[in-house]
Amino acid sequence: MTKIVTLYNNKGGVSKTTTLFNLAVFLAQNGKKILIADCDPQCNITELFFASNEVADDPSKELPGTSIYQALMPRFAGEIGKIDPDTVDLVCSTLYRNLFLLKGDLEFSMAETYFANAWKQAITEDIHEKNTYVSLYRFLHSLGDKYSFDYILCDVGPSTGAITRMVVLACDGYFLPLTPDRFCNQAVRVLGTVLDDWINKHADISKTFKPFKIPSFPGKPILLGAIIQDFKIYSAGKVKASYERWQFELKKTIKYTLLSGKTLPSRNGLDPDQPFIAAIRDVGPLAPLAQMFGCAIFDVKQNQTRYASRDGKDYYGVVWQGWENRMKEYRDEIEKMTEVLP
């Protein structure tokens, strides 16, 4: 059965999109069939996915495939009860076999209103709103069933709005991406309350579905683990002190707001004292270079490094060896994420 997973933090700038894309590529390279669902109206992961495709360089051409908003619009308009997956065209990656995209849509921001209304009205006898409430979960699983995806990875925005709420509730599990700073720590402090409210309200809404014979969905995503990112280290490999201090604060905040004394579901074996399951240090110029070619950070080729050098020449020797080491290190941390997937 297809599992749905996201990376979620209500703070922006924590590398959600980049990490999710690299996780998707790693899984696809290791025999899993993967769908990336761009559920963020900013459409950043759609831009990254198409960076390897010539069509992305021609603004006069429409990107191929059905967008998530186009797919769901007939349900929002009340024209149909369920989305037929046969009406949806997914896009296959030009670089990676087994990797597909349900593209984003700037107009998907309009879904904020539809999902917000469903959140308020689905608890009533309004059949239309009940069907809208379950539409995203139904739709993603219908795609999973039709194409036998192992995982659907959903990219979401850094918000607590209606779109993000419905995506997170539709997931089986989520990773918590973090940067070691005050603002991220502040965001995590409120995250437990936000998720607790969502899960409890969903349970109340779901109770009203049975008389109408409309199946609801679990709505209990589990915390798979936290990913600490974008920190710097000394040459000896030790985390620099200022980052280390905020990592320590984040561990405490996660323990006491998400994992201790809370009803929030988390993965069996997730240690409240050591919630970081991957540590991805600052990758420097690797990230923007990978974005140029729409590839994973661990897949940058030597002949592409000329675009990172001032003289336009490929990196070689000790410099290229350093890049290879960083790419391997990055890949190893992404692999750790796959080891805790549902």
Q: The whole model's pTM is what?
A: 0.96
State the residue range of the domain holding 123.
3-296
Give the tokens for residue 319: 């410099």
Q: What pLDDT is attached to residue 60?
A: 64
Assigned domain for 337 exists: no
Cα–Cα distance, 88 to 68 (Å, whole number): 9
Within a domain: residue 310?
Answer: no
Q: What pLDDT is stored for residue 79 in this prediction? A: 92
What's residue 227's pLDDT? 98
Enter the tokens of residue 332.
Answer: 């190893």
How many domains would you assign to the chain?
1
Q: How many CB atoms within 10 Å of residue 314?
A: 16
pLDDT of residue 262: 64
Residue type, 331: R
**Measured between alpha carbons, how far is residue 29 from residues 13, 20, 95, 98, 206 in Å?**
27, 14, 10, 8, 38
Q: At a CB cut-off of 8 Å and minimum separation 6, what does 124 contact?
A: 208
Cα–Cα distance, 22 to 9 (Å, whole number): 17
- Residue 11 in any domain: the answer is yes
Residue 88 lies in a domain: yes
Q: Where are the alpha helices (DSSP H) in the chain?
A: 16-29, 44-50, 68-76, 111-121, 127-133, 135-147, 162-170, 182-207, 241-254, 286-293, 317-338
Please check whether residue 240 is in contact with residue 232, taking contact to mean a CB–CB distance below 8 angstroms: yes
Residue 214 lies in a domain: yes
Reference 123, options 42, 213, 205, 5; nearest CA is: 205
What local confidence, expressed as pLDDT, does residue 122 receive? 95
Question: Please, what are the averages of pLDDT over each run of 10 residues along the chain (342 residues)?
Answer: 97 95 98 98 96 72 93 96 96 96 97 97 95 98 98 96 98 97 96 95 96 95 97 88 96 93 86 96 96 97 95 95 97 98 97
pLDDT at 260: 82
Query: What is the DSSP track for 26-80?
Result: HHHHTT--EEEEE--TT-HHHHHHHTTSGGGG-TTSPPSS-BHHHHHHHHHTTS-
CB neighbours of residue 123 within 10 Å: 18
229 within domain boundaries: yes
The domain spanning residue 156 has which CATH number? 3.40.50.300
Spatial contact of 193 and 21, defined as CB atoms under 8 Å apart: no
CB-neighbour burial class of residue 3 (10 A; exposed 0-12, middle 13-18, buried 19+): middle
Nearest-angstrom CA–CA distance, 160 and 69: 19
Contacts of 148 (CB under 8 A, 6+ apart): 2, 33
Identify whether 316 is part of a domain. no
- What CA–CA distance (Å, rounded) separates 47 from 81? 31
pLDDT at 261: 66
